[in-house]
Amino acid sequence: MNRRAVLAIATAGLAAPRLVLAQGNWPERPVRVIIPFPPGGSTDTIARLFQAKLSEGLGKPVIIDNRGGASGSIGGIEMARAQPDGYTWMLAYDNEATNQTVMRLPYRAMEAFAPVSLVATGPLALVAHKDTPYRNFQDVVDAAKRAPDTIGYATSGVGGLAHVSTTLLTSEAGIRLTHVPYRGGGPAVQDAVAGNVPLFMSNVVIISQHIRSGILRPLGVTTKEETRHVPGVRSFAQQGLADFEAPTWWAFLGRAGTPEPIMRRMHEALTRAVLDPDVKAKIEEQGCDVRASSSEVCGRFLAAEIDKWGRVIRTNGITADS
């Protein structure tokens, strides 16, 4: 056997223990969690609520990295380019599913990402500023039928679930509204609270305090039934659109190819973090329900969302310029 072959065998024999050791010692440095939206939105809020407990569980700092823009796709692209070494993760919002159809992305979510856990789900709510004449969804329907395309509604971005679900909602209601997209939920809620746009379709996390204060008036929720997070407000299904349902969600994703021991360690640490009684209570106070699912449930859920909303996007001709 020649010297090169001997060295190759020796190197192979040494490499595997080093890899196992590296995985066993993971993490050896701070861990980054990409938030594909600016600070102030729901995804950023939820991540920061479990950040400290996750850091505690991993024994290393967890750094929040806001990569907002293009309806969450800039953060998604950054995540898809990351090394599968367990040091880059992403808390994805529901936009990740709709972006797969509405945008031309350099990656496919089910190939680029490794699901860790469905963190939380909740209702979207259509709200009106208190100074508008809209007291319920029927008021919006009546006004829109009198003057199509004259009533604007804000969302966190083009092609996101809030946009796509409102497109389906207005189609089923037989009305036309004008979409006013923003670069994330934070900027959108600021304009909604200021009264610069009459309607806002959003997850409840970033608007719950404004609903409680009376500045924003809820007109309907996208869960199948009423939800404890917006008490006393009927779902759109209960308001005559029987099959309408569009819950919002947040999922924790790793990079495909991340070693399984690291994936298991992250799942365990994340589960403990979000199910910590104090953390869970704070997240649910925002207007959603903690799920802390298995990675398998998370993967099936993400695939189903991509398929469901992909059909709606194609049927309604929604593009990144909508």
Go through the domains of the chain in sequence order and give each one's CATH number.
Answer: 30-121+247-316 (3.40.190.150), 124-239 (3.40.190.10)
Across 39-48, average pLDDT? 90
Task: HSE, CB side, 13 Å, CA atoms: give it for residue 152.
Answer: 13
Across 257-265, average pLDDT? 98
Task: Report the alpha-carbon distance of residue 133 to residue 139 in Å, rounded.
Answer: 8
**What pLDDT was estimated at residue 104?**
93
Helices 95-102 and 73-80, interaxial angle, to 10°? 90
Q: Coil, helix or strand for 254?
A: strand
Relative to beta strand 248-255, strand 113-122 is antiparallel
Q: Can you read off the two tokens belonging to residue 186?
A: 């934070």
Of 29, 36, 56, 218, give the one whose Cα is nearest residue 139.
218
Tens of pLDDT, residue by residue over 282-305, are 999 988 999 999 999 999 999 999
Instruction: Give the CA dihedral 214, 215, 218, 219, nearest 10 degrees.
Output: 120
Determine which helix (DSSP H) or strand (DSSP E) holds 64, and give its type and residue range: strand 62-66
Across 214-243, average pLDDT? 95
**What pLDDT was estimated at residue 20?**
46
**What pLDDT was estimated at residue 98?**
95
**What pLDDT was estimated at residue 288?**
93
Tens of pLDDT, residue by residue over 116-150, are 999 999 999 999 999 999 999 999 999 999 999 99
Of 288, 281, 295, 270, give the one whose Cα is nearest residue 52.
270
Task: Report the alpha-carbon distance of residue 106 to residue 110 in Å, rounded.
Answer: 13
pLDDT band at 87 (very low <50, low <70, confident <90, very high): very high
Length of the chain: 322
The neighbour count for residue 76, using CB atoms within 10 Å, is: 29
Distance in angstroms between the alpha carbons of the first and the last residue of the chain: 66
**What pLDDT was estimated at residue 3?**
34
**What pLDDT was estimated at residue 157?**
82
pLDDT band at 321 (very low <50, low <70, confident <90, very high): low
Q: Taking 60 as the threshold, does the pLDDT of residue 210 lie above it?
A: yes
Determine which helix (DSSP H) or strand (DSSP E) holds 7, and give its type and residue range: helix 3-25
Across 64-88, average pLDDT? 95
Among 7-11, 183-187, 271-275, which is the least confidently predicted range?
7-11
Q: Do 123 and 222 form a contact (C-beta atoms < 8 A)?
A: yes
pLDDT band at 41 (very low <50, low <70, confident <90, very high): confident
**What pLDDT was estimated at residue 23?**
56
**What pLDDT was estimated at residue 322?**
54
Determine which helix (DSSP H) or strand (DSSP E) holds 177, and give its type and residue range: none
